[in-house]
Structure 1
Amino acid sequence: MAEEARRLWGVMAEFATADALLAAARAAREAGYGHVHAYSPFAIEGLAEAVGFPRSRVPAITLLGAVLGGLLGYLMQWYSAVVAYPINVGGRPLHSWPMFVPVTFELTVLGGALAAFGAVIFGNRLPDLAHPVFEAPDFDLAMRNRFFLCLRADEPGFEAKRAAEWLESQQPLKRSELWW
């Protein structure tokens, strides 16, 4: 790619500890940076709130998928036993709901699991095989023992020089620019 066709995606800093990352994330939000991304090898208590992470819609989508799965499973059984193939077995009523419970339960679980999987995959825009953060120096350490904070360049009023200076004031191990 030609040098002039590239554009700045963000500025990233590497920190040695989770506490340093958390402090920098809180300071970034207080400094007015709206698009703050943090990368860590494990969950850090309070980091989601510090970067302004929105509430997840995955639980609601999972519930919706479970309800739809259970409802469709029950209706499928009811239709086949009462409407399509009504067979009197042992004098039981055609709509004998206790025999529908196991399949309804299993389809409820299946519907919830598939909805949760889809919500996570599509909600995180996966798979993303070519993301600018993958090009950051030592970003592979984010899976082992390093912590990264990125300030996105697509927010209004973003100035790369000012953001780089602000990140340096947080005393990171390294700072780098990410290009798209």
Structure 2
Amino acid sequence: MKPILYGVIGRFETPDALLEAINALREQNAAIQLEAYAPYAVEGLSEALGLGASKIPLFTLIGGVIGGLGGFFMQWYAAVVSFPVNIGGRPLNSWPMFIPVTFEMAILCAALAATFGMLAINGLPRLYHPVFNAPCFDLATRDRYFLCIRTTHRQAGGFDAAYYRQRLEDLGAAASDEVWS
């Protein structure tokens, strides 16, 4: 299989240098596709990259509502339809009795929805990614910060990798390399 240029990656020493480079590239071209890799959460990185709001809270809410309704329906069906037993003259649909299990099911399903939603949104588990081929990329999990400028298939005139390598080095990258998939 013929290798395809994934993009150009630059290695930065500090998170501030990474953020300055992202902002400078965004000022030059707002439509540029950027990916950043850091060993920990960097304040302001999501905003600088232009990432939208996370969908995980929505997944959590939907999972909690479905879990709560499912827990309530399960108990209601068992107590009213499937096996109705008159205990102490209480009504069969005694909803206060159903609250603890309903609450626990809501919490369980919300946590599972948040976990699996996060994995799906992040594309995990991912055993291979083209940036793993970049030199010194293993430092991204220790103490270095990486910025990748992605190629797009719709770019007019092609992707000038040499220009972007030089641009990253001008913005303070300690090193820059091409990333091939």
RMSD: 1.2
Structure-2 residue corresponding to 1:61: 59
Structure-1 residue corresponding to 2:146: 148
Within the candidate set 8, 16, 20, 1:11 is matched to: 8
Percent identical residues: 50
Structure-1 residue corresponding to 2:160: 159
Per-residue CA deviation, residues 2-59 of structure 1 (Å, 9 max, x unaligned), is xxx1010010000000100111111121121521011111111111111111211110
- List, as ranges, runs of 4+ consecutive aligned residues in structure 1 with deviation greater than 3 Å: none
Letter in 1 for 2:18: L
Structure-1 residue corresponding to 2:82: 84
Give TM-score, length-normalised by structure 2.
0.93
Between the aligned partners of 1:31 and 1:105, the Cα distance in structure 2 is 51
Within the candidate set 85, 95, 98, 2:96 is matched to: 98
Letter in 2 for 1:93: P
Say whether the 8 Å CA contact 1:35–1:155 is kept in structure 2: no
Between the aligned partners of 2:114 and 2:139, the Cα distance in structure 1 is 29
TM-superposed CA distance for 1:159, in Å, is 2.5
Q: How many residues align?
A: 177
TM-superposed CA distance for 1:155, in Å, is 5.7
Letter in 2 for 1:22: L
Could you tell me which runs of 5 or more consecutive residues in structure 1 were left unpaired when the two chains were aligned.
none
Say whether the 8 Å CA contact 2:21–2:172 is kept in structure 1: no
Say whether the 8 Å CA contact 2:7–2:149 is kept in structure 1: yes
TM-superposed CA distance for 1:165, in Å, is 2.2
Between the aligned partners of 1:95 and 1:12, the Cα distance in structure 2 is 62
Could you tell me which runs of 5 or more consecutive residues in structure 2 were left unpaired when the two chains were aligned.
none
Say whether the 8 Å CA contact 1:69–1:111 is kept in structure 2: yes
Within the candidate set 9, 16, 21, 2:18 is matched to: 21
Between the aligned partners of 1:166 and 1:100, the Cα distance in structure 2 is 63
Structure-2 residue corresponding to 1:175: 176
| CA distance 1:46–1:155, change in 2 (3 Å) | farther
Structure-2 residue corresponding to 1:31: 28
Say whether the 8 Å CA contact 1:34–1:155 is kept in structure 2: no
Between the aligned partners of 2:4 and 2:131, the Cα distance in structure 1 is 14
Residue 52 (structure 1) aligned with residue 53 (structure 2): no
Within the candidate set 126, 129, 132, 1:128 is matched to: 126
